[in-house]
Amino acid sequence: MIKVNKYEVQTIEHFDNNGNSLGFLNYLEAIDLRIQIATQRIEGYYAILNNSKIMIDSTAHYENWGNGLYDLEGELLRKLLKAQM
């Protein structure tokens, strides 16, 4: 039997290079922020996840991707690929 599973969209607080909160961003908003960072080659932006500071470099890469950082989509896609095989 099929049932619809509901998922809460993860939001993670992001900060500018002066430590000012940009608010809690969802995955798409974070991608947009990273595009702007990479386009302007800005240093010093970061996110806080589980009390850990995750730096975003000037090419918009997160210092430590993983450990719960916007990973639900990847988990679900892996399950889908496994089910399709």
Domain assignments of the chain as residue spans, ordered by start: 12-84
**What pLDDT sits at residue 73?**
86
Q: pLDDT tens digits, residue range 42-81?
A: 999 999 999 999 999 999 999 977 678 888 888 899 999 9
Which has more pLDDT, 74 or 34? Answer: 34
For residue 72, what are the CA distances in angstroms to 11, 27, 33? 12, 10, 19
Q: How long is the chain? A: 85
- Residues 2-30: what's their mean pLDDT? 96
Q: How many CB atoms lie within 10 A of CB 23?
A: 9
- State the residue for tokens 């947009």: 32
pLDDT of residue 65: 74
As a whole number, the mean pLDDT across the chain is 94
Task: Of 32, 28, 1, 25, give the one whose Cα is nearest residue 11.
Answer: 25
